[in-house]
Amino acid sequence: MELFPLFLKLEGRQCLVIGAGRVAESKIESLVRCGARVRVVAPEATEAVRTMAEVGSINWEHRAYKPGDLNGMFLVVASTSSPELHAKIFEQARRAGVLCNSVDEPERCDFYYPAVVRRGPLQIAVSTGGLFPGLAQRLRQQMELLFGPGYGAWVEEIGRARKELLASDLDISERNARLQEISSERSLAEFERSRRAAGSPETSPGQPGKVYFVGAGSGDPELLTRKAWRILSEAEVVLHDALVAPELLLVPPPSALILDVGKRCGQKSAAQAEIHAVMIEQARSRRSVVRLQGGDPLIFGRAGEEFEALRESGIEFEVVPGVTAASAAAAAAQITLTDRRRASRLIFLSAHRHGGQFDAGWQSLPAWDTTLAIYMPGRDYERIAQELCAAGLAPETPCVIVSQASTPEQRIVRADLAYLAEIGEMPAPAILLVGEVTREEVLEVSRAYSAGIWLADQTDADS
């Protein structure tokens, strides 16, 4: 059955809610928000419902439901623990011509509560016809990221502009062109930029802008935090690494300046000094600058050098953490990095340091009760294995290599430390996890093969 979507004006209308528990509480609040005259019938009520009754927002009657309660009502919400009572209320409401919603019973509903994104006069509602409210909530959360808080003020602004245009003597074609322009993405970007310039301390006249170091997470764009998405959606300048998901570069406004400053092995890339200069120049132009980096910007990145350059130039900055590669890789391989039965320590290492040199000197590493997360392992797994064995790790120590974690191209390779040299090149970015927490099935499998390697080859597109 297809539903007819509409937005109702409830101001001044009589609405009845039967029940006053936690679920009913949210239904009551939404009706009050819309200006409805809300009557609640329930023997008991939550503290929030009691407070609404005390301040006069609702009329709460401390008793059980009676059929006569429907008289004069525009709609009724049944939110009790009794399906039998809900069935009676639904039938009585049908006979009385009153719209009814029985919570969590789609077959006894004339209407459904949608999941709503509220941005002032802008409301975006999502419904699954009562079949899967959780999905509607998830979609609402995604749309809240796409339609930030600034949309409300913008809609009010363009609403006033539309009213003036409709009252003007412009011909229809020119009026329609103007209406299309004021509702465009470019119009939104200009509105947000003017608001920042007028009211934000860091963009006030004579003051520089601000740089945000944003962690883009590891591969999957949905791993971006809500705060990161909001900041990115308002950015005027974005300097991004090569490992950032392409979908994230569609989040900034169309007017934003997008610069690729990624560094990849064997390829020409921007010098670090150039990156510093661009950030400082753009911030001094009173722009909102996002330094978008794969994973978390504070783990094996160049954030420290960039912090120093900004501090010396008097530029304010803020860090928004992201999901680092070790966490994403462990999630992909279903590994607990600090499983208390196998490891009480977690050590992050980089196989390469400044200038791309291999970082040896791992002799001080603990040889047991520890998980090693080795970033940027490169291609020389044989040397890594030699260094780890020299540090005291046993040749049969299990390992996992995760390449391009959380992306459709993800690959997972498991092997004992002794067989790392036989693993072929893995596409970057890759991370090597070493320790007993990776054991699970690797010993049984590696003993079954003379090569000692099990290629999981998991693309995990649907995981």
The CATH architecture of the domain made up of 14-113 is 3-Layer(aba) Sandwich (3.40)
The CATH architecture of the domain made up of 326-455 is 2-Layer Sandwich (3.30)
The whole-number pLDDT of residue 297 equals 92
Residue 205 has pLDDT above 60, yes or no: no
Q: Distance (Å, rounded) from C-alpha 370 to C-alpha 367? A: 7
Residue 439 has pLDDT above 50, yes or no: yes
C-alpha distances out from residue 120 to 150, 151, 192, Å: 9, 8, 15
What order do you get walking across the sheet with 99-102 strand by strand? 58-61, 37-41, 14-18, 75-78, 99-102
Name the residues annotated as catalytic. 241, 263
Characterise 117 by phi-psi region: left (phi > 0), alpha (psi -120 to 50), beta (else). beta
Q: Distance (Å, rounded) from C-alpha 319 to C-alpha 257? A: 20
Q: What is the pLDDT of residues 281-306, one digit of tens each?
A: 888 888 889 999 999 999 988 899 99
The whole-number pLDDT of residue 10 equals 94
The whole-number pLDDT of residue 408 equals 85
- Residue 197: which pLDDT band, with cuts at 50, 70 and 90? low
How many beta carbons lie within 10 A of that of residue 275, not counting itself?
20
**pLDDT more than 70, % of the chain:** 88
Q: What is the pLDDT of residues 94-128, one digit of tens each?
A: 999 999 999 989 999 999 988 888 888 888 999 98
DSSP 288: E
Confirm whether 205-320 and 326-455 share one CATH topology: no
Does residue 256 or residue 433 have the better pLDDT? 433
Q: Could you tell me if 373 and 431 are in contact, meaning their C-beta atoms sit under 8 angstroms apart?
A: yes
Residue 460 has pLDDT above 70, yes or no: no
User: Most distant CA pair in the chain: distance in Å?
Assistant: 85
**CA nearest neighbour of 456 among 442, 439, 435:** 442
The whole-number pLDDT of residue 453 equals 47
The whole-number pLDDT of residue 263 equals 67
* Cβ neighbours for 281, distance < 8 A, ≥ 6 positions apart: none
Q: Distance (Å, rounded) from C-alpha 139 to C-alpha 118? A: 14
How many beta carbons lie within 10 A of that of residue 75, not counting itself?
20
Q: Distance (Å, rounded) from C-alpha 399 to C-alpha 190? A: 51
List the chain domain ranges.
Answer: 14-113, 205-320, 326-455
DSSP for 73-120? -SEEEE-SS-HHHHHHHHHHHHHHT-EEEETT-GGGBSS-PPEEEEET
Mean pLDDT, residues 68-79 taken together: 96
Q: What is the pLDDT of residues 23-32, one digit of tens each?
A: 999 899 889 9
- CATH class of residue range 205-320: alpha beta
pTM: 0.53
**CA nearest neighbour of 433 among 457, 387, 390, 401:** 401
Q: What is the pLDDT of residues 415-430, one digit of tens each?
A: 899 888 888 778 888 9
- Across the chain, mean pLDDT equals 84
Q: What is the pLDDT of residues 120-174, one digit of tens each?
A: 888 899 998 888 888 888 888 778 767 777 788 889 999 999 999 999 988 899 9
The whole-number pLDDT of residue 59 equals 96
Structure tokens at 239: 């300097």
